[in-house]
Amino acid sequence: MSARPSRRSPELLRVGDRERAETADRLSAHAAAGRLSIDELEQRLEAVHSAVLARDLHAVEADLPSTVRRPKPHRPAPLLPIAIAALLAAVLATIAAGHPIPPLFIAAVLLWRAGAHRGGRTADLLRPLGEPRPRNGA
């Protein structure tokens, strides 16, 4: 045998008991969903347990839909309602203390920065004079 590692296709890699068990579980799920009859399931399970290479396992499932579900993309919580609630609480607290002006300036700065961060029209204020407005995607 050669000491150099060869580049083999993943289909030519040998499989172990774990891969066979995972494939058998997926086939059972397909049978439970009504995609396979009991006889067909038994035939495919025999093929799974005698599989040596990954391509043997893939061939058993080739005509079945994938059972792997894609996770939904994580959406961060919207910050605007939280910011408004915090600002309202700060305004009410300063009004109760007798100083209602500072939260309004803080709110103006926060809203201006949020607009600049999101690429809104306030981002134009950060652009040097005479510099053209960037196009979308640039």
pLDDT interval class at 89 (50, 70, 90): confident
Residue whose C-alpha is closest to residue 117's, from 108, 126, 128: 126
pLDDT in tens, 34-84: 999 999 999 999 999 999 999 999 999 999 888 666 667 777 667 777 777
Tell me the whole-structure pTM to 2 decimals.
0.45
- Across 31-45, 71-85, 88-102, 115-129, which has the greatest mean pLDDT? 31-45
On the 0-12 / 13-18 / 19+ scale of CB atoms within 10 A, 24 is middle
Query: What pLDDT, on the 0 to 100 scale, is given for residue 118?
Result: 57
